[in-house]
Every structure is written in structure tokens, then in C-alpha cells.
Structure 1
Amino acid sequence: MFIKNTWYVAAWDHEVTTDGLFARTIIGVPILMYRTADGKLVAMADRCCHRGAPLSVGRREGDCVRCMYHGLKFDAAGQCIEAPAQTRIPPQAKVRTYPVVEQHRWIWIWMGDPAKADPTLIPKTPWLDHPDWRGLDGYIHYDVNYLLICDNLLDFSHLPFVHPTTLGGSADYAEHPPKVERLEDGVRITRWALNTEPPPFVKAVKDWTGKVDRWNIYNFTIPAILLMDSGNAPAGTGAPEGRRVDAVEFRGCQAITPETENSTHYFFSHPHNFSIDEPAVTKSIHQNIVTAFEEDRAIITAQHRNLSLDPEFKMTPFAMDAALSQFRWVVARRLEQEAAETAAATSGEAAQLITVQRQPA
């Protein structure tokens, strides 16, 4: 159902503190996160190994957490180190821990084989905390499957229709087909709209009287990470050739993390590199983005409800669907690869067990 051997965004850095317990479900697995006294991140299954109660409703005791159902105490490695009225603790009394990395204000978690958790595979998002860029944190919870959100982000032709007062711009934006390139782990999308109206959220912070050349260039990669170079420059000043004169530039960072099959976490920020000493500009940009993403949630949630009424409904593909079709193919391929690896490993373990059982006593 979900890719496991990949890095998912689990939280913003400020959500996980040194004096509390933070719970969030990631790809159907309840996860507990907290920080030790020295600031080290801990991520473990939010499920006591005894009776399955959530540890997140337990109690912090130093760098440990105590389950408040029967009092078992676990250290930061997930090992049970104390049980009331029981001096001997079974070695199997532990909960699973997960590799977790904090990078550029996002907390990333690896839900698969910990031996494959290579931090160098984490996408780079330096704009989230770079002094030359400004942005605000965003989070939205969806009650839909994460792939419907991916579809929306992979086809920006919806902007003039869903976001006419925020991100949209004029209707001609949808008439400019994007260039779609296949990547090993996703797609790269390049869309230019030349001599077009600037979108309302840009008009709110930039006093332009004429039309603009607008660009959205982004990678959308597994598991569902969008990193985008976007912006506007006065029409005809050379933006397509790389001359961004009097331009407004953004570096959109968006992460879609499945919660369950039909619910999703959506993390986002839209850093800008102009007017960085004017908080009102940052706030205006962020509020327009939030409003627009709520508009997305409304139409995608309505779509989800409609599709749920007829599971046999077949969507009719259009040319505008090229990027989302390719990304879904990449996801399906990765799921098939993981399934094959799991089947091979299970088969090998079974064969080894049979060999051991056949050896003479």
C-alpha cells in the first residue's frame, strides 16, 4: 500500500519538544516522537509491547517514557527497563524504533529497513532556514488518499479555476502545456506562461502595472516531495533566458505524507528572497498560500467523496495528465520492487528454516 524504504516528513522541528510527547501516524503506523535532554530525536512505535496501549498518553521520566496502562518503562532505544512487581524483564519486551533526522526544519523518518536509511537520500530544502529567504510553516490535514493530492500538485492547469483570487492568474495560464521529464524517482515539470497577468498573491506584494513572464519549475519525487523554483518577472525582460530582472522568486517546499489509506499530512512553506525584512510581506504570501491550499482541500475532498461512491469509476485521461500518470507509474514500480524484495527475503528465510530442520540431531 505504501512505500517503506524512503524518507517521509514526519513533523516540523518545533512540533517535537524536549519536555513532551508527540504522536503522529505515518503510513498507518502510530509513531511517538520526543527529544532527550540533550536534544536528540527519538522516534518509536506508539504502541506498548505489553497490551498495545499508546505510549503517547504515557509519562515522560527523564529520557524515558512510562506507559500509563500497566506502568512499563521504556528507554530511548525502545527497550523496556522497568515493570512493576517484576525484577526480570524479558529481552523481547521492547518497541520498535525508527531512524529519524532533523534537516532544515523538517523532521524526516524512515519507515522501512533501518539498514537502508541513508541520510544522504533526504531531499535538500535549504530555503526553509536560509538567512536570505523568508517563509512561514504550514500544515494541513486531509481526509483523502495522498495520491489525489499528488495528482493536484502535478497538474497546475487547475490554478486559474480553483484559485482565481490567490494563485491563479488569468485563464491563459492553463493553456501553456508543461514540459515533463522522467526522473529516476519521480518527474520534473517546467511550465512557462509568457506575457500573462501576475497572480493575485503576487499583486498583493509587488506593484507591477504590466504583464509578467511566469514560471513554475519543480521536481516531484518519491514519496511525495515537491521542491519548486517559481516566480514572476516583468514580461520581456529575459526571464526564460535566465535574466530575472526585478523578479519575485519563491522556493516552494511541500511534503505529502500518508497518514492512513484515506488520510494525509501536508507540510508546506513558500520561502521568498525579496522584501525579507518586511514581515507583512511574508505574512501576506503565506496567508494567500494557506487560502489557496484550503481551496485545494475543498475540491479534492469533494472529488474523494464522489469517487468513493463508485469504486469502479474509470477516470478519462487527458494530455494534461502526463506528469501525474508518470509519477503514479514510478510509485507503482517502487511498490512492486519492495514487494518482490520482501517475498524473496521471506522465501530465503523459509528455505533456511527447512534446511535447519532437516539436519540430523
Structure 2
Amino acid sequence: MPATRIACKQCVHGNVRPESARRAQSERSKEPRMFIKNTWYVAGWDKEIPAEGMFSRTIIGVPVVMYRKEDGSIVALEDRCCHRGAPLSVGRREGDCIRCMYHGLKFDSAGRCIEAPAQERIAPQAKVRKFPIVEQHRWVWIWMGDPENADPSLIPDTQWLDHPEWRSLDGYIHYDVNYLLICDNLLDFSHLPFVHPTTLGGSEDYAAVRPKVERIDGGVRITRWAINTEAPAFAKAVKDYPGKVDRWNIYNFTIPAILLMDSGMSPTGTGAPAGVRVDAAEFRGCQAITPETENSTHYFFAHPHNFAIDKPEVTASIHQSVVTAFDEDREIISAQQRSLELEPSFKMMPFSIDAALSQFRWAVNQKLEEEAAASARR
């Protein structure tokens, strides 16, 4: 079993002993996927769901087909015909319905089979699963668990994605790694000067800053201040900072894997730590990590800014710096995954800087255990 899968399993079952790793790997196909179900995941950007046609994406191991009804609302169904398992996404739209183009079954927007060639009677169990879906502030959110628990008020506020006083461009990256490795990366910004020296990093003194980590409902809140430090390259490219700055990164990281961040910098000594933001470059980072499978992940992001919003070249420059930096993250995390897969018994050594990582994994563990216990009671 690759080390990343062991890490996921440890959340629920404890350590996998080195002598049992080979046996665990051979039995992996018998194990259930360990994903939280009763939570809102980002399924895509609103522009990805076409007015006509269909869009398919796998989320926590489940294929999902999405499309817009004639009134513009989005439907999300399991992308697997109940008859022979053919993908509905390679079928045909017929108004607000989908016809499977293998044997011709037709499904309505509730997932019910309403027509089948040569069938006078259609059994009521002939249906495909429908998922609750909410379109809000440019992101399309999907609930993969019990539909009765799908409370839209639980969706995090990402208002900056379409707020008239903020500007950003849409971002998406596909990873061939377990989603928890990406979470680890985002929960410890001490890597910034080393992985992103020419984009988001800044000087190496930023890595020595000890962040404040607080547990919040469903995750952690991280506060990191670097006083009298160099402005990172991406900020220098769009805003003139002749001297050093006071830099902050304050963000919530919550289940399933949503990062909402207040970040920025002001000239040193102008009062930013006290809440006075003079000549500041402010950002509201929105990032969502959605597992595709155990070892592949969807990564949605944007980095809204509230200065120079009438200059699209500034927005483009910021976005490109973020894209370049996130590609750098993907390179090192993918290399990490390959390294871990070579030694399934490898156990990561925790350092004090890993406090946020440990607390978030604890929160994931608690949620998985709750869902497992609820499932066992049924």
C-alpha cells in the first residue's frame, strides 16, 4: 500500500505495522475508500457546466454527470446507468432528461428511469442517484452523503470570487496524489521561501516565523505574521514597495479541505499588526481541494485582490504567479508521493511546525469515525 494510503488509513485504524505492509497492499482492493461523505465539496466552476450538453467529473471515487436544465439550474446525477453501468455523460440530452445511448433508457432530472425500449412497465428502483447541488459565488458545490443532511447554510462564504470590489481569475489544477498531501502543504506555509522563491515566497526569514494555530469547528485557523520582511516577488511585480513590509497570512482550513485566506502586506511600521492597513496589497485566497480518487485530486483556486481592480494586467500577473507557484507545489508533492510509494512502511517524523497538519488530520479522523459509527447503526 502506498504510504499516502497508509496515512489515510492511520486516521481511522492507527499505524500499519511495517511487517504487515505487504499484506495490506495486496488486500487494498477489498477496502472501502476513506472519504468524508456528509460535507459540501466543490464540483467545479460555474462556467464548466454548459447551457447545453453535459459535464462529467469523478468526486470521492464516484462518477458524476452535471448539466443545466432549461431554467438554468444544475442537475447532478451519478454518471452510471442503472442497467449496465454505461456512463450517462456519453449519452444524449433530451430537454431536461438524459438518454443512455447503450440501451436507450431515459432518465429525468430526478434520476428516475421514465422510458425504456420494449419495457411496458419500469420498476421504481430503476433510477440513478441524484446529488444535492448549490451554485454560489462562482463555485458549484455538491453533497455526496445523505441528501437529508445537505444544509446549504454549511457552505463556506466565498463572496470575493464575484464581489464587484475584488478581482481574480479562475484556477484549476489536477493532481495525481492523495488529497491529504496537498492539505499538508497548505497547512504549513514555511515551505514558501524554498518551493516558491521567485513567486509567493519572499525571503527565507519567513520560514522561521512560528504561526498561531487555533482549533475551530471542523478544522483549524492559522495566523502568521512576518514583520519587517521582504515583499514576495509576485507582489513587487504589481505594487511598488521600496522598503520592507509587514506580511500576514490568516486563514481557516476546514473540512473537507477548504482554505479561505486573508493575506497581504503593508509597509513596515504603518500599523498592520494593529489592524491599520496603509497602502496595503490585500488578497482573499479561495482554495478548494476535492478528492477524485484515493490518489488523484481536483484543486480549485482563485486569489482575489482589491487594489488596481481596473487594471486587468494586474489581475493576470497575480494569477500567473499563483499558477506558477501551484505548479511548483504539484511538482514537489508529486515527487513526495513517488518517494513514499517506494517505501510503504515509511513513517513521517513530526516536527513542531506540523501542529496545524496534526490538528486537521485529527478533525478528518473524527468525522470519518462519526460517519462509520452512523453507518454501523443502520
With structure 1 as the length reference, what TM-score do the two structures score? 0.95
Quote the residue 2:199 is aligned against: 166
1:110 aligns with 2:139: no
Measured in 2, the distance between the counterparts of 1:41 and 1:21 equals 10
- C-alpha distance in structure 2 between counterparts of 1:152 and 1:52, whole Å: 37
Specify the alignment match of 1:232 in structure 2: 265
Quote the residue 1:175 is aligned against.
208
Q: In structure 2, which of residues 33, 36, 40 is the aligned counterpart of residue 7 of structure 1?
A: 40
Where has structure 1 moved over 6 Å in runs of 4 or more? Answer: none
Q: Residue deviations 1:106-144, cap 9 Å, x none? A: 000000011100000000000000000000000000000
The 3-state SS of whatever aligns with 2:182 is: helix
In the alignment, which residue of structure 1 is the partner of 2:5? none
| 78-87 vs 281-290, greater mean Cα deviation | 78-87
| Deviation (angstroms), 1:87 | 2.4
User: Is residue 37 from structure 1 mapped to residue 70 from structure 2 by the alignment?
Assistant: yes
Indicate yes or no: 2:180 matched with 1:147: yes
2:318 to 251, 272, 285: 285
The residue that corresponds to 2:123 in the other structure is: 90
Aligned to 1:60: 93
Distance 1:91 1:56 in 2: 22
Structure 2 equivalent of residue 101 of structure 1 = 134
Residue 296 (structure 2) pairs with residue 300 (structure 1): no
Aligned-pair distance for 1:169?
A: 0.2
* Equivalence for 1:213: 246
Q: Identity rate of aligned residues, in percent?
A: 77
Q: For 1:293, give the aligned amino acid.
A: F
**Which of 260, 264, 289 is matched with 2:297 structurally?**
264
Query: What do the CA deviations read for 1:232-282 (whole angstroms, capped 9, x no partner)?
Result: 100010000000000000000000000000000000000000000000000
Q: Report the Cα distance in structure 1 between the residues aligned to 2:111 and 2:222, rounded to whole angstroms.
A: 42
Q: After superposition, what is the alpha-carbon deviation per residue over 1:125-165, rounded to whole angstroms, capped at 9, x for unaligned?
A: 00000000000000000000000000000000000000000
Matched, 1:187 2:213: no
For 2:345, the aligned partner's letter is E
**Aligned equivalents of 2:136, 2:55: Cα separation in 1:** 18
CA distance in 1, matches of 2:373, 2:107: 35
Gaps of 5+ in 1: 346-361
Letter in 1 for 2:135: E
Of 171, 183, 187, the residue aligned with 1:138 is 171
Equivalent-residue separation in structure 1 for 2:367 and 2:124 (angstroms): 35
Supply the RMSD in Å over aligned alpha carbons. 0.5
Q: Distance in 2 between matches of 1:90 and 1:343?
A: 29
Match of 1:157 in 2: 190
Match for 1:113: what amino acid? D
Deviations 1:193-213 (A, max 9, x none): 000000000000011110000
Secondary structure class of the residue paired with 1:192? strand
**Distance in 2 (alpha carbons) for counterparts of 1:221 and 1:264:** 17
User: Alpha-carbon deviation of 1:17?
Assistant: 1.4
Q: Highest Rg: 1 or 2?
A: 1
- Picking from 326, 344, 347, the partner of 1:311 is 344
Aligned-residue offset at 1:84 = 1.2
Distance in 2 between residues matched to 1:18 and 1:245, nearest whole Å:
44
Which letter maps to 2:146? Answer: D
2:362 maps to what in 1?
329
Provide structure 2 residue ranges, at least 5 long, that are not aligned to the other structure. 1-33
1:348 — aligned with what? Answer: none
1:90 and 1:152 map into 2 onto residues whose CA distance is: 49
Q: Is the partner of 2:360 in helix, strand or coil? A: helix
AA aligned opposite 2:344: P
In structure 2, give the amino acid aligned to 1:163: H
Shift of 1:18: 1.9
1:184 is displaced (CA, Å) by 1.9
Correspondent of 2:83 among 12, 26, 50:
50
* 2:282 match: 249
